[in-house]
């Protein structure tokens, strides 16, 4: 063998080795895949109703109102390799996204999981509030302390679980109202917070400090709106996080609290966040969620308006997209489907 041929052979072997080694090197990407889909009108894997209502008359519900999920591979400490990423890029069922899309920088996987759990909890509460608002059932709101930041003015004076009743002399009934009142103060201003703890009211005097960006006055508490409902709703979905099932939870609650089947016996799936006022918001992973829904047997998919463009581009065959702007509009669409009408709000181009 000539020296030139030997050099080419060695070079080719080295290139192949480097390519093989490189294909197994971890890369900062995450693979998103279709996840489980569950019927909010049915039971979980323990045989318990996903949505259980106590203290109020409920009605039989048939058909499916499935919420959809996305599973992922990768993330800090468990990155996928280049070969897996390349394979995902050519798989229509998989989306390969930058790692920071799922795991923001400076946040651990535990922190992300905890945030997803909090979002699921909040989405369930918002879903119940939206359903009861739709049904004109009166509800009230409490402003509760979720956590207190160490080293901030409230540390040692306010505790998680405290109910905030007033800021100075102004009574408050929502987190938004507290935020608005605090924004009117300057860093270093005194503020008196009236709270309820263990059924007793007390006043706490604080001095505002600067937010991490130095632009806003804060006292170092994380607040959440806690709704007081006239009856009990339990939503049991197991180890699933995030806010995207809100719309489907609301629909299930409305269906169980009203006579007749909202689905008309059809297999409906969907996704979307929900506000207590019933506004439907966008979610991530729309492509994978539609695939999961279609594989499960869904023929109609309720789609947030802001996800319509991506949904139309990736719609599986046999799945009809119905645009859901609000809980009210989604219910009207399902009622129209039951009546055999076809003039439903649709995603443009679907």
Q: In this structure, are 199 and 77 located in the same domain?
A: no
Judge if 279 and 330 occupy the same domain: yes
Quote the pLDDT of residue 76.
77
Residues 178 and 111 grouped into a single domain: no
Asked if 55 and 87 sit in the same domain, the reply is: yes
Q: Which of 38, 123, 244, 333 is catalytic?
A: 244
Q: Tokens for 281?
A: 């918001």
In a 13 Å sphere around the CA of 338, the CA atoms on its Cβ side amount to 15
- Position 261 in a domain: yes
Establish if 58 belongs to a structural domain: yes
Confidence check: pLDDT of 52 > 50: yes
Q: What are phi and psi of 298, to 5 degrees?
A: -70, 145
Is residue 330 very low, low, confident or very high in pLDDT (cuts 50, 70, 90)? very high
> Does some domain include residue 115?
yes
Cβ–Cβ < 8 Å for 279, 126:
no
End of a domain among 201, 228, 255?
228
Q: Both tokens of residue 335? A: 């009622």
Same domain for 177 and 318? no
Average pLDDT on 90-119 reads 78
**Position with higher pLDDT, 199 vs 289:** 289
Residues 6+ apart with CB under 8 A from 40: 50, 51, 65, 66, 67, 245, 248, 249, 251, 252
Which pLDDT score is estimated for 50?
93
Confirm whether 244 is a catalytic residue: yes
Q: Angle at CA 112, nearest 5°, toward 151 and 23?
A: 130
Whole-number pLDDT of residue 14: 47
The pLDDT value recorded for residue 15 is 45
91 belongs to a structural domain? yes
Per-residue pLDDT tens over the stretch 126-169: 999 999 999 999 998 899 998 999 999 999 999 999 999 999 98
Report if residue 36 sits inside a domain: yes
Same-domain check for residues 106 and 167: no
- The reply to whether 330 and 236 lie within a common domain is yes
345 SS3 class: coil
pLDDT tens for residues 167-198?
998 999 889 899 999 989 999 999 999 999 99
Count Cα atoms within 13 angstroms, Cβ side, for 136: 0
CA distance 101 to 98: 6
| Among 256, 289, 329, 333, the one annotated catalytic | 289
Q: Which helix (H) or strand (E) holds 203?
A: strand 200-207
- The mean pLDDT value of the chain amounts to 88
The per-residue pLDDT for 192 is 94
Among 169, 197, 228, which residue terminates a domain?
228
Active site residue 140: no
Q: Which of 180, 212, 228 is the last residue of a domain?
A: 228
Q: Is 238 found in the same domain as 117?
A: yes
Domain count, the chain: 2
Looking at the chain, the whole-number percentage of residues with pLDDT higher than 90 is 60
Residue 13 belongs to some domain of the structure: no
pLDDT, residue 194, reads: 95
85: left (phi over 0), alpha (psi -120 to 50) or beta: alpha
Which class for 203: exposed (0-12), middle (13-18), buried (19 or more C-beta within 10 A)?
exposed
Residues 202 and 259 in one domain: no
Regarding whether 308 and 292 lie in a shared domain, the answer is yes
Q: Are residues 49 and 116 in the same domain?
A: yes
pLDDT tens digits for 59-73?
Answer: 998 999 999 999 888
Residue 150 sits in which domain range?
140-228
Whether 114 and 261 map to the same domain: the answer is yes
Give a yes or no: residue 256 inside a domain.
Answer: yes
Parallel/antiparallel/unpaired status of strands 267-270 and 64-73: parallel
The alpha-helical segments, DSSP class H, found in 24-173 are 82-89, 99-102, 109-134
């Amino acid at each position: 063998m000539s020296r030139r041929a030997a050099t080419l052979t060695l070079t080719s072997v080295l290139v192949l080795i480097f390519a093989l080694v490189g294909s197994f090197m971890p890369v900062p990407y995450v693979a998103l895949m279709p996840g489980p889909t569950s019927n909010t009108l049915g039971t979980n894997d323990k045989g318990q109703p996903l949505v259980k209502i106590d203290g109020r008359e409920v009605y039989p519900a048939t058909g499916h109102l499935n919420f959809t999920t996305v599973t992922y591979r990768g993330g800090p400490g468990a990155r996928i390799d280049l070969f897996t990423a390349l394979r995902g890029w050519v798989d229509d069922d998989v989306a390969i996204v930058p790692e920071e899309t799922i795991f923001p920088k400076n946040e651990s996987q535990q922190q992300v999981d905890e945030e997803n759990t909090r979002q699921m909890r909040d989405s369930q509460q918002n879903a119940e509030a939206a359903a009861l608002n739709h049904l004109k059932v009166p509800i009230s709101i409490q402003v509760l302390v979720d956590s207190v930041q160490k080293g901030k003015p409230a540390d040692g004076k306010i505790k998680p679980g405290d109910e905030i009743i007033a800021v100075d002399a102004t009574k408050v009934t929502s987190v938004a109202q507290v935020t608005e009142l605090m924004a009117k103060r300057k860093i270093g201003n005194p503020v008196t917070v009236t709270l309820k703890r263990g059924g007793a009211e007390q006043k706490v005097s604080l001095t505002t400090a600067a937010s991490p960006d130095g632009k806003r006055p804060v006292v170092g508490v994380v607040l959440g709106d806690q709704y007081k409902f006239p009856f009990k709703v339990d939503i049991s979905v197991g180890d699933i996080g995030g806010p995207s099932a809100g719309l489907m939870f609301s629909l299930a609650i409305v269906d169980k609290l009203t006579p007749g089947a909202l689905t008309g016996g059809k297999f409906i799936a969907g996704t979307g966040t929900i506000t207590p006022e019933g506004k439907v918001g966008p979610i991530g992973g729309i492509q994978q969620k539609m695939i999961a829904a279609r594989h499960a047997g869904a023929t109609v998919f309720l789609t947030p308006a802001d996800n319509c463009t991506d949904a139309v581009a990736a719609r599986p065959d046999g799945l009809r997209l119905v645009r859901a702007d609000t809980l009210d509009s989604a219910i009207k669409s399902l009622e129209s489907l039951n009546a055999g009408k076809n003039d439903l709000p649709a995603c443009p181009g679907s």
